[in-house]
Amino acid sequence: IKTEKSISATRLVLLTSVGRRGDAKAAQSAGIAAYLTKPIRQSLLYECLGLVLGSVNAVDSTPQTAAPIITRHSLSEAQIRSSPLVLVVEDNPVNQKVAANMIEKLGYRVNVAANGREAVESLARIPYALVFMDCQMPEMDGFEATRVIRKQEESLRQAGSRPSHLPIIAMTANAMREDRERCQAAGMDDFLSKPVTSKSLAAVLNHWLPQETTSTKVA
C-alpha cells in the first residue's frame, strides 16, 4: 500500500491479538499510523481513529511515517492528560485513598489535601475543576476553607477578573437539614453523605461537570 502511489496516503491501523516487543516500531517503519492490541474498547478505537484521521494531510499524498505511532499506551496517556483535575480535601488517610481511587476509576485525575489550609494553598497554584470538601478537619475545617475560597473569587471579580465558579461539594457524615443549610451558607454547591459510593460520586460529577459524562458512567 505504501509503495503504490495511488493509495500511499491511506492511513493504516494495525490490530493484533498478540503484542510483542518491537512490533510497534516495526509497524511504524512500515508506515502504519496506529498499533493496537485486541480486545479493544469502543471508546479507545474511536479516539484512535479520530487522531489518525485528524492527522491526514489532504495536500501531501506521501506517506507520513515521521509522526510517532499511536498505541494503546499513548492513547491512555492522552486521556489522562485531558481529564479534569479534582481535589479531595479529607483528613482521614483511608478515606482519602478510597475517594481518590473511585474518582480515578470514573476517569478523573485527583489530588488530595489533608485539611482546609492545604486546600486553599493548593487552589492558589493549581486550577481544579471541582473540589470534594470534608466538613470536619483540623487546622481549618471545610466551612472556613470554603468561605476563604469564595472571598478570593469575589476579590478577583472586584478587581475586574472573571473567575469561573469552582464547584465545592460537601462531604460529611451528618445528613441533617441544618447541616445542609450550614454547607450552603458557607458557599458549598452540593452535599454528599458519607460513606460515599462510586454511584453517588458519578452522579455529582456528571451534574457539575456535564461535558465529561462520557467517562463517568457506572454499571
**pLDDT tens per residue, range 8-33:** 989 999 998 877 888 888 988 899 99
Pair 43, 79: CB distance under 8 Å = no
**Whether 118 contacts 94, CB under 8 Å:** no
Position 215 scores a pLDDT of 43
Q: pLDDT tens-digit profile of 118-157?
A: 999 999 999 999 999 999 999 999 999 999 999 999 988 8
Predicted confidence (pLDDT) per residue in 180-205, tens digit: 888 999 999 999 988 899 999 999 99
The whole-number pLDDT of residue 79 equals 59
Question: Residues near 183 by Cβ (< 8 Å), separated by ≥ 6?
Answer: 135, 143, 170, 172, 191
Residue 64 confidence (pLDDT) above 50:
no
pLDDT at 218 > cutoff 60: no
Q: How many CB atoms lie within 10 A of CB 111?
A: 16
The pLDDT of residue 55: 62
pLDDT (0 to 100) of residue 93? 94
Tell me the pLDDT tens digit for each residue of 67-97.
Answer: 788 887 777 666 556 688 999 999 999 999 9
pLDDT at 214 > cutoff 80: no
pTM for the structure as a whole: 0.63
The full set of domains in the chain, from first to last, is: 13-79 (no CATH), 83-215 (3.40.50.2300)
Compare 203 and 66 and report the one with higher pLDDT.
203
Counting beta carbons within 10 angstroms of the beta carbon of residue 209, is it exposed (0 to 12), middle (13 to 18) or buried (19 or more)? middle
